[in-house]
A and B are shown apart, each in its own frame.
Chain A
Amino acid sequence: MVVWTDFERTTIRDIFSKIDYAVVGQAAFSRCLIVYPWTQRYFGGFGNLYNAAAITSNPKVASHGKVIMEALEKAVKDMDNIKATYAELSALHSEKLQVDPDNFMLLGDCLTIVVASQLGKAFTAEVHAAFQKFLAVVVSSLRKQYY
């Protein structure tokens, strides 16, 4: 059972209320595909991912980035039940999509970098720690249905 401090709850809600899901989603997901190119293996149907410019301007990448952020919002809306919230998504990633779960934190790290660049100084060590904890819980929940 994850225990969230008031500071952590407020911080996570605050971050997600400040960011534009389309912008941050596209930036984080495209960054992941560029910085960790082996993650492209799961997106064969996305068209041109040949180089950074192609990835950055790819409309499927942009729309999938937004999908990811909207899925993360579900966890923000119910922080005490993240494991239950992601049970189906976990099974999907494991059984249908067959994504190596080590990739989840790669995307998490890129999202952290994008949020950090948006918030600048406001992304203090304490805020960063709360965000990292949130991502760790999300990733752990997404790993739950892997056998």
Chain B
Amino acid sequence: MSLSAKDKETVKAFWAKVSGRAGDIGSDAVARMLTVYPQTKTYFSHWKDLSPGSAPVRKHGGIVVASITDAVNKIDDLAGSLLTLSELHAFTLRVDPANFKILAQNILVVLATMFPVDFTPEVHMALDKFLAALARALSEKYR
């Protein structure tokens, strides 16, 4: 399920449309993930406040979405551009890769709430493929 040229075009075009709200997207997606899939909270026991809208959640949302924007710009070489992040997740954070799928689904839900007209089934599919490719690149260094 690698990204076709059309997929990449769709992702880039949609992301350009939505990147103005990048901060909100990231923050809402992380907040949702922690609320809807509470097992993900186990990775953030060092945060003082895991509630939606809290400072650590907003900050982390910002970091996540900035990385996604970066990945969109380097969509032709996800493995290469995510090498350092992959090492971080593999050796330091040791996040079970199943959670990447969970965060991805939450990002898609946030996009659906914020951009109901633009988030067509075609855009949904391209983004789902892109986030899956991103997750794969992030899992590169795990073993």
Q: Contact residues of A with B, CB < 8 Å?
A: 30-31, 34-35, 52, 56, 109, 112-114, 116-121, 123-126, 128-129, 132
Given contacts A118-B116, A120-B116, contact A128 B125 (CB under 8 A): no
B119/A117 in contact, CB under 8 A? yes
Q: Are A117 and B112 in contact (CB under 8 A)?
A: yes
Q: What residue in chain B is nearest A112 (Cβ atoms)?
A: B109
- In angstroms, Cα B119 to Cα A125, docked, is 19
Which of the segments B28-36, B39-47, B66-74 contacts the partner chain? B28-36
Tell me whether chain B's interface is mostly helix, strand or loop, or mixed: helix
Chain A residue contacts of B113, Cβ below 8 A: 116-117, 119-121, 123
Residue of A nearest to B28 (CB): A125
Across the interface, B35 reaches (CB within 8 A) one of A109, A119, A128, namely A128
B128 at the interface (CB under 8 A from A): yes
Q: List A contacts of B32 (CB < 8 A).
A: 125, 128
Q: Which residues of B89-120 have CB atoms within 8 Å of chain A's CB atoms? A: 105, 108-109, 112-114, 116, 119
Q: Which 3 residue pairs spanning A and B have beta carbons closest together?
A: A117-B116, A125-B35, A34-B121
Give chain B's interface residues, CB within 8 Å of chain A.
28, 31-32, 34-37, 52, 105, 108-109, 112-114, 116, 119, 121-122, 124-125, 128
Bound Cα distance A120, B114 (Å): 6
Q: Which residues of the other chain, A, contact B112 by a CB distance below 8 angstroms? A: 113-114, 116-117
25 A-B pairs (CB sep. < 8 Å): A30-B121, A31-B124, A34-B122, A52-B121, A56-B121, A112-B105, A113-B109, A113-B124, A116-B112, A117-B116, A117-B119, A118-B116, A119-B113, A120-B113, A120-B114, A120-B116, A124-B52, A125-B28, A125-B31, A125-B36, A125-B52, A126-B35, A128-B32, A128-B36, A128-B109
Give the number of residue pairs across the A-B interface with Cβ within 8 Å: 55
Closest to A115 in B: B112
Residues of B within 8 A of A125 (CB): 28, 31-32, 34-36, 52
Contact residue among A35, A112, A119, A121 (Cβ-Cβ distance under 8 Å from B121) = A35
B35: which A residues are within 8 A, CB to CB? Answer: 125-126, 128-129
Q: Decide: A34 near B109, CB < 8 A? Known: A126-B35, A132-B36.
A: no
| CA distance in complex: A120, B28 (Å) | 12
Residue ID in chain A nearest B29 by CB atoms:
A125
